[in-house]
Amino acid sequence: MSIAACLLTPSPLSSPNSLTITPKFPTTFPLHLHLRLSSSATCFRHSRSSPFLAFCAGGDGGDINSNNNNSGGGGGNDENGKHRGGDDENAGDKNRKEAMILLAEAGRSTESLPKDLAAAIQAGRIPGSVIERFLGLEKSGLMRWLMQFGGFKERLLADDLFLAKVCMECGVGIFTKTAAEYERRRENFFKELEIVFADVVMAIIADFMLVYLPAPTVSLRPPLAVSAGAISKFFYSCPDNAFQVALPGTSYSLLQRLGAVMRNGAKLFAVGTTSSLVGTAITNALINARKAVDKTSAAEVENVPILSTSVAYGVYMAVSSNLRYQVLAGVIEQRILEPLLHQHKLMLSAICFAVRTGNTFLGSLLWVDYARLVGIQKAHEEDTAA
């Protein structure tokens, strides 16, 4: 600091060998002191970014496996690029230190961890909160077994209630979808029972994937080969959920988050089409068996069109289901409910159960309307009139 230099000035020399320093104060008040910190002073700051602002974060585009630090906006030689690169390095060092401290406290070493998790820790991609969650999950034999599978491990590290949500979805799926079918069909419910059965079978097959694919993850994947194409690298760097919160030291661009919607949409289209093929094939087999037993029902009951129904259900999954479950997992649960109720797991689970039940029922209503809109299902009154 240079306070003294502001207040003390040397007086004229009375002799060559004498130096007298006299204080010099301004004759007017108030007295202003100018404090100046040296450039070597350390500055500490604490900030907590809003998860909603983090949605459109730019930076390196969130490719935590990338070996370059160039920003998506152009040259990396500007001051902003250098500052951002320094922040990423500091975040990586902080993540690594936090993880190593927690491992030391638990009496563990990186050699005792799964190889992909250990590599991510050494790369500074995993904060201490993830390590703390991993150590807690390992205490359960079931969770320890599930974390042997990479996909489950990435999702459980991002959300320790992931398995509970899978059970919720699959458990209530058959009941809510059957109730929704009855709500739409009412007195025609039993007359259209074969169509109802096909819808329920498709729902059971697809429910698991609807929870699994759009779930937020902690990416432990190794980097792609240098020879990989640009499109492969782009989709590889996209998050699994378009709205998920980025870990410290990583960020996702708006384009990458849109890419997550497209990638999951393609996967859910394949899942929906396949599950529909299975469901409609079973339904047609039951219809044919019914016709063979009851000849009077041969003209009343028609086979379900397999190809058109399967493609229509794939499109429905890629658009409606994809968007609803992305918002549910990434916005409602991770960004709203989890921060509010992270210390009350029982209440959080109950609210998630209620929200997912409502979302499943809504999806069933939308599917019946959509199927009738595109013409793959018709109300019983229309068939009678025809």
pLDDT digits (tens, 9 = 90+) for 30-49: 444 444 444 433 333 333 44
Tell which wins on pLDDT, 298 or 63.
298
pLDDT at 301: 63
* Per-residue confidence band for 322, with pLDDT thresholds at 50, 70 and 90: very high
Which residues, at least 6 apart from 96, have a Cβ–Cβ distance to it below 8 Å?
Answer: 121, 122, 124
Token pair in block for residue 159: 């959300």
Task: Using the predicted structure, report yes or no on whether residue 161 has a pLDDT greater than 60.
Answer: yes
pLDDT at 170: 84
Token pair in block for residue 58: 């730019």
pTM: 0.71
Among 326, 199, 169, smallest CA distance to 275 is for 199
pLDDT at 297: 60
Cβ atoms 304, 198 nearer than 8 A? yes
* Per-residue confidence band for 269, with pLDDT thresholds at 50, 70 and 90: very high
Task: Using the predicted structure, report yes or no on whether residue 273 has a pLDDT greater than 60.
Answer: yes
Total Cβ atoms within 10 A of residue 141: 8
Which of 85-99, 201-215, 236-250, 339-353 shows the lowest mean pLDDT across its residues? 85-99
Integer Cα distance of 278 and 294 in angstroms: 24
Most confident of 22-26, 52-56, 245-249: 245-249
